[in-house]
DNA sequence: ATCAATTGCGTTATGCTATAACGTGTGGCA
DNA sequence: TGCCACACGTTATAGCATAACGCAATTGAT
């Protein structure tokens, strides 16, 4: 699932997300890429699907939006649970990888005989910068 | 924020969710209530908004759907984090309240000077029944 | 080189999810 | 009685996501 080489559309979508300072919706990405020939939502969604598979873009479920991965170390598609702290004011998103959370959720699932395929953890609130101000 | 007494629309929406065996989208609820006079999405969304405030209905972000609260003990709107285990096969949703998870997330947030307003935790996977079968 | 299979691409159309804006009616209360 | 808060009904619109079709480029054998 490693990205051999990104296609043109994938690279454009990734670049747009990387330059953004907050999560972007698929339609916002589309608007930003109209000058580069994008015309239809599917062009964006198809690129996002691949980038998400590669693990270099994340979808934020509580926002219906997407961010480029800013994780310190690389992580593929199945390399553990990621928690997101999302600032409601400035849109800043920080990724948190924490084995304790992961282990605890795994235990809770096992106790209930639940087999987890995918875990979503999203904290909405206010980052330090926005609280100080 | 306690529910004084539910309005007719709120009661109908809650009853629909309670009888369902899986999360329902707002539009599915609308369809089920057409015989009771519901005509427009807003009638459903307005009821859901209140029921969610009351803490007796939960929104599942990863599904864009809603469930009636099945929590063993009552919980109001701000009574702690709830994790959901959602079966992809049968739709069964189980609510998990775990102080350890809560404390750990609180710690991780504090470390980053992040003030959490709302936390979403959703595990997608397969329940015991569906795995056994 | 050639063929077949895979993958990406572009387009049109459609479906699903959610809210804005406006007006009406009802009940509680000063 | 007059006011206010709140629920309600309706229409319209905004925002998010995918189905289905056919073509083009790439790959990787033979
Ligand atoms: Zn990441
Ligand atoms: Zn901020
Ligand atoms: Zn509950
Ligand atoms: Zn199940």
> Where in chain B are the domains?
8-132
User: Yes or no: is domain A8-132 CATH 1.10.10.10?
Assistant: no
Q: What integer is the mean pLDDT of B3-31? A: 95
Within 8 A by CB and 6+ apart from A117, the residues are: B88, B124, B125, B126
Between CA A112 and CA B83 the distance in angstroms is: 13
pTM of the model: 0.94
Residue B73 has pLDDT above 90, yes or no: no
DSSP-derived letter for residue A4 is S
pLDDT at A133 exceeding the cut of 90: no
Percent of chain A surpassing pLDDT 70? 90
Over the range B12-26, which residues count as b (16 or more CB within 10 Å of their CB) and which as e? bbbebbeebeebbeb
Residues of chain A in contact with residue B119, where contact means CB-CB under 8 angstroms, are: 121-124
Q: Is A124 near chain B, with CB under 8 Å?
A: yes
| Residue-level pLDDT at A70 | 94
User: Which band of pLDDT confidence, cut at 50, 70 and 90, is reported for residue B39?
Assistant: very high
pLDDT of residue B18: 98
From the list B75, B71, B70, the residue with the least C-alpha distance to B54 is B75
Q: What is the average pLDDT across A27-50? A: 97
Q: Cβ separation of B115 and A121 shorter than 8 Å?
A: no
* A37 Cα to chain B: minimum distance (Å): 31
In this predicted structure, what is the pLDDT of residue A77? 54
State how far the Cα of A110 lies from the Cα of A115, in Å rounded to an integer. Answer: 7
From B96, B105, B125, residue closest to A123, measured CB to CB: B105
Is A114's CB within 8 Å of B61's CB?
no
Q: Give the model confidence (pLDDT) of A78-125 as tens digits.
A: 568 999 999 999 999 999 999 999 999 999 999 999 999 999 999 999
Look at residue A132 and tell me whether its pLDDT is greater than 90: no
CA dist list (Å): A62 to A121, B7, B65: 10, 28, 12
Say if residue A71's pLDDT is above 90. Answer: no
List of protein residues whose beta carbon is under 7 A from strand C: A 7-10, 37-43, 46-47, 50; B 25-28, 40-42, 45, 64-65
């Amino acid at each position: 699932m490693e990205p051999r080489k990104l296609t043109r559309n994938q690279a454009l979508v990734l670049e747009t997300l990387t330059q953004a300072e907050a999560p972007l919706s698929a339609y916002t990405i589309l608007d930003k890429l109209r000058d580069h020939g994008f015309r239809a939502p599917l062009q964006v969604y198809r690129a996002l699907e691949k980038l998400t598979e590669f693990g270099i873009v994340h979808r934020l479920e509580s926002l219906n939006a997407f961010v480029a991965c800013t994780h310190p170390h690389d992580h593929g598609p199945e390399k553990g649970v990621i928690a997101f702290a999302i600032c409601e004011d400035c849109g800043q998103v920080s990724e948190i990888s924490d084995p304790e959370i992961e282990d605890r959720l795994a235990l809770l699932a096992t106790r209930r005989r639940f087999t987890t395929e995918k875990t979503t953890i999203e904290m909405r609130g206010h980052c330090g910068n926005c609280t100080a101000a």
